[in-house]
Amino acid sequence: MPQKVYIETVGCQMNVLDSELVVGALRRHGYALTDTPADADVLLFNTCSVREHAEDKTYSALGRVRHVKRRNPDAVIGVLGCMAQKDQDAVRRRAPFVDLVVGTGQLAEVPALVDKVRATREPQLAVSLGRADAGRHEVEASFVSYDPARDPSMRPTPFQAYVRIQIGCDKFCTYCVVPSTRGPEQSRPPEHIWAEVRQLVDQGCKEVTLLGQTVNSYAYQRGESRTRLSDLIAGMHDTPGLERVKFVTNYPKDMTDDLLDAVRELPKVVKYLHVPVQSGCDEVLRRMKRNYTAAYYVEMLARCRERVPGVAVTSDFIVGFCGETEESYRKTADLVRAARFKNSFIFKYSERPGTKAAGRYPDDVPDEVKKRRNNDLLAIQTENSRLDHRAQVGSTVEVLVEGPSRHGERVAGPVRQLTGRTMTDHIVVFDGSDRLIGQTVRVAVTDASPFTLYGDVEPASRERERPEDATPVAHAPGSPGRFPLPLA
Ligand code: SAH
Ligand code: SF4
Ligand code: F3S
153 Cα: distance to centroid of ligand 2 (angstroms): 30
Residue 278 DSSP class: B
Please state, in angstroms and rounded to a whole number, the distance separating the CA atoms of residues 165 and 238: 18
| Residue 11, ligand 3, Cβ within 6 A | yes
| Residue 50, ligand 2, Cβ within 6 A | no
Q: What is the pLDDT of residue 377?
A: 98
How many percent of the chain have pLDDT more than 90?
Answer: 84
Determine the atom of ligand 3 nearest the C-alpha atom of 487.
4
Nearest CA to ligand 2 atom 2: 173
393 Cα: distance to centroid of ligand 1 (angstroms): 32
| Residue 321, ligand 2, Cβ within 6 A | no
Start and end residues for every CATH 2.40.50 domain found in the chain: 396-462
pLDDT category at 13 given cuts 50, 70, 90 is: very high
Residue 49's nearest CA partner among 41, 40, 59 is 59
Q: What is the pLDDT of residue 430?
A: 97
| Residue 171, ligand 2, Cβ within 6 A | yes
Q: What is the pLDDT of residue 414?
A: 80
Nearest CA to ligand 1 atom 4: 213
Start and end residues for every CATH 3.40.50.12160 domain found in the chain: 4-140
| Residue 487, ligand 3, Cβ within 6 A | yes
Strands (E), 212-268: 219-222, 225-228, 244-248
Residue 168 DSSP class: -
pTM over 0.85: yes
Please state, in angstroms and rounded to a whole number, the distance separating the CA atoms of residues 252 and 297: 7
Q: Is 396-462 a domain of CATH 1.10.3470?
A: no
pLDDT above 70 for 223: yes
211: β partners: 164, 248
Please state, in angstroms and rounded to a whole number, the distance separating the CA atoms of residues 313 and 326: 26
Handedness of CA 222, 224, 228, 234 (dihedral sign): negative
Alpha-carbon dihedral 358, 359, 365, 366, rounded to 10 degrees:
70
pLDDT above 60 for 208: yes
Residue 154's nearest CA partner among 477, 485, 484, 488 is 477
CATH of 4-140, one of 3.40.50.720, 2.70.240.10, 3.40.630.30, 3.40.50.12160: 3.40.50.12160
| Residue 251, ligand 2, Cβ within 6 A | yes
Q: What is the pLDDT of residue 466?
A: 53
337 Cα: distance to centroid of ligand 3 (angstroms): 28
Mean pLDDT of 12-20: 93
Determine the atom of ligand 3 nearest the C-alpha atom of 49.
7
- Report the pocket of ligand 1 as residue ranges, CB < 6 Å: 50-51, 175-176, 178, 213-214, 249, 276, 278, 316, 318, 347, 349-350, 352, 487
Nearest CA to ligand 3 atom 1: 12
pLDDT above 50 for 475: no
Mean pLDDT of 112-136: 84
Mean pLDDT of 130-134: 63
Q: How many CA atoms lie within 13 A of 311 on its CB side?
A: 27
Please state, in angstroms and rounded to a whole number, the distance separating the CA atoms of residues 98 and 80: 11
State how far Cα 326 lies from the chain centre: 32
Of residues 19 and 459, more confidently modeled: 19
pLDDT in tens, 401-448: 999 998 878 777 788 999 999 999 999 999 999 999 999 999 999 999
Mean pLDDT of 386-398: 98
| Residue 214, ligand 2, Cβ within 6 A | yes
Mean of the per-residue pLDDT values for the chain? 91
pLDDT in tens, 260-275: 999 999 999 999 999 9
Mean pLDDT of 371-383: 98
